Amino acid sequence: MRKEALWSAAAGVVALAVMVAPAAHAEGRGDVRVVKTVVDGGTNVIVGTSKVVKFPIAITVKDNAGVKGLTDVSTFNRSNGYGFADWTGSTCVKQSATTSVCTATMTIDPGWIADSDDIDSNKVAGVWQVNATVKAQDGDYWISDNIAQYKVKRAATLTTDAPPEPVVKGAKLTVKGKLSRANWEDRKYHGFSGQEVKLQFKKAGSSSYSTVKTVRTSSTGGLSTTVTATAAGSWRWYFPGTTTTMQVVSAGDNVSLS
For residue 164, what pLDDT is reported?
76
| CB-based contact 90:100 (threshold 8 Å) | no
For residue 11, what pLDDT is reported?
26
The mean pLDDT value for 175-191 works out to 98
Beta strand 141-154 with 25-29 is antiparallel
25-153: CATH architecture: Sandwich (2.60)
How much is the mean pLDDT over the chain? Answer: 91
Phi and psi torsions of 235, nearest 5°: -110, 145
Beta strand 196-203 with 233-239 is antiparallel
DSSP string of 28-92?
EESS-EEEEEEEGGG--EEE-SSS-EEEEEEEEEE-TT-EEEEEEEEEEETTT-----EEEEEEE
For residue 25, what pLDDT is reported?
61
Give the whole-angstrom CA distance, residue 118 versus residue 152.
Answer: 19
The residues spanned by each domain of the chain are: 25-153, 156-255
Question: Measured in whole angstroms, how far is the alpha carbon of residue 57 from the centre of its chain?
Answer: 14
Equal fold, 25-153 vs 156-255: yes
Count the Cβ atoms, other than its own, within 10 Å of residue 3: 10
pTM (predicted TM-score): 0.88
Whether the per-residue pLDDT at 1 is higher than 50: the answer is no
Over residues 23-76, the pLDDT tens digits come to 446 789 999 999 999 999 999 999 999 999 999 999 999 999 999 999 999 999
For residue 258, what pLDDT is reported?
84
Over residues 203-256, the pLDDT tens digits come to 999 999 999 999 999 999 999 999 999 999 999 999 999 999 999 999 999 999
CATH 3.40.718.10 fits 156-255, yes or no: no
Burial of residue 236, with CB atoms counted within 10 A of its CB: 0-12 exposed, 13-18 middle, 19 or more buried = buried
